[in-house]
Structure 1
């Protein structure tokens, strides 16, 4: 009965979201509520929880109307970054979407990242996470309240970097232009003495990395298993996993292993930050999305 009601009537759901906080080697940094008061942070603030639409949208860079953050977090090669994606206007609930990939990119800031305009930055990919089983995406971990886990490359050159975490929500991507992009940028200062850097064919700009019609963005068969998902954008940079050059790397648009450089392994000593004040967004879900997240909303329907 609960699933039947879910498909017939509009329900209150936590339709969109943002990065509420990050934990770097055990230290947690809080973000700002989209469009709210701006407090010191290492996470660039976005203006809304709504997704970026369209592969040519300038906000594809760091999120909707993202502004530079005032602080920069210290990190090192091989640092573990836990990124807490949250749902709702104030981040009081878990991430809501469970269909699509999450990818991580980096770019080196020409000065301190707190004043760096990334409009023309060249980004390289350090991880891509998609399907964990034939029909379950890595995003299911985020829906369950767990963080996305990414590792800073072990041989990266020292300097200031932006870390770009991006979810592409595909529940409406059965039509061209339906994909929902959720990018977020975290400002880092990385130490060490590494020499690793991307090669020219491993970088791209946002917008520019994607098109609305390429595989991985336009996915007309996303609900027809078996799913053979192709990650969009450039390959993971060769130096990230220890390769000396990019000759053996999968090219753009070529399927590569789901877990390229990081796996889900939350810290046993870390726990999600306290929820922000309660406020809900409202959206009538697409039937395909309803089918995949109705289990998550079942307690609400019985409340």
Structure 2
């Protein structure tokens, strides 16, 4: 009996290290699914995929870490996925044990960067010029929850390729920033992932982005949206890290930008896989993290389905 108790105690102590992190398991572009490789098989990936394979499910720590770009030691995928301006790209994230994504607090951001005249399987993104096409944070209809919780519940998050995107070769970078440890500098956890695309000709007017950033370079560990000492108390006007939404997102013939070169609208074009797709507009109301979410933090983000 005593040995049984010791066994379960040891198993419980190991759960956070096994389940508390994860990776991009698949992307679906207009319904066509591309699976990603599990980082556990980094040395010998079993799938040909457009998703760049990282070498660990562990988060990137530190906003200036070189791995903030496309993930830890990310290696180019063997495939290029086809998309068009206006295509819907659904991102499905998995926990390290192939269960649901384990975190539920923090923003989800999406960027594009051109690979120039080469296909993206041959592109080095070290100095890529990234422009943001989407950002989602807390839900306006339920301010105690973040859109990241949809991933926690086993759903995907869908982003639309802006209709004004110039045709060409692109990396699409989907990034989760988990904020459950963000009360101190360096506590935020970054989970970036890059997928290789070939964007064809659409019906919109092609517009070049007016503002791009380097990654790393766009974030600091003390940015208001990365260092959040009051993350488990009401958060007033959460500030997304990085640049504003690119002018390409809302372009209709010509780009209209504000004085900082960011788009004048911050409306997101994300949806979820749930039947009722919530509106993803940036909320400017006070936010409150629920007691339930705080309790989950105390349990080190172990999903409810584990118990």
- Shorter-chain TM-score category? 0.7 to 0.9
Aligned to 1:172: 181
Matching of residue 64 in structure 1 with residue 69 in structure 2: no
Q: Distance in 2 between matches of 1:127 and 1:71?
A: 24
Out of 24, 28, 35, which is 2:29 matched to? Answer: 24
Residues 226 and 215 (structure 1), Cα distance of their counterparts in 2 relative to 1, 3 Å cut: closer
Matching of residue 86 in structure 1 with residue 94 in structure 2: yes
Aligned to 1:120: 127
Residues 188 and 229 (structure 1), Cα distance of their counterparts in 2 relative to 1, 3 Å cut: same
Q: Distance in 2 between matches of 1:117 and 1:93?
A: 31
Aligned to 1:283: none
Aligned to 1:186: 195
Give the 3-state SS of the residue equivalent to 1:93 in structure 2: coil
CA RMSD of aligned residues (A): 2.6
Aligned to 1:281: none
Out of 117, 130, 142, which is 2:151 matched to? Answer: 142
Aligned to 1:12: 15
TM-score (norm 1): 0.82
Long gaps (5+) in structure 1: 1-5, 269-285
Aligned to 2:232: 223
Superposition map of 1:145-156 within 5 A: 145-156=154-165
Give the 3-state SS of the residue equivalent to 2:298 in structure 1: helix
Matching of residue 248 in structure 1 with residue 258 in structure 2: yes
Give the 3-state SS of the residue equivalent to 2:248 in structure 1: helix
Out of 39, 46, 57, which is 1:49 matched to? Answer: 57
Aligned to 2:48: 40
Q: Distance in 2 between matches of 1:114 and 1:264?
A: 28
Residues 10 and 250 (structure 1), Cα distance of their counterparts in 2 relative to 1, 3 Å cut: farther
Give the 3-state SS of the residue equivalent to 2:297 in structure 1: helix
Number of positions where the alignment pairs a residue of Structure 1 with one of Structure 2: 269
Q: Distance in 2 between matches of 1:164 and 1:45?
A: 13
Q: Distance in 2 between matches of 1:12 and 1:225?
A: 29
Aligned to 2:289: none
Give the 3-state SS of the residue equivalent to 1:50 in structure 2: coil
Matching of residue 107 in structure 1 with residue 117 in structure 2: no
C-alpha displacement of 1:167: 0.3
C-alpha displacement of 1:191: 0.3
C-alpha displacement of 1:251: 6.9
C-alpha displacement of 1:170: 0.4
Larger CA deviation: 142-151 vs 186-195: 186-195
TM-score (norm 2): 0.81
Give the 3-state SS of the residue equivalent to 1:94 in structure 2: coil
Out of 185, 195, 211, which is 2:206 matched to? Answer: 195
C-alpha displacement of 1:155: 1.3
C-alpha displacement of 1:290: 2.9
Aligned to 1:276: none
Long gaps (5+) in structure 2: 1-8, 277-293
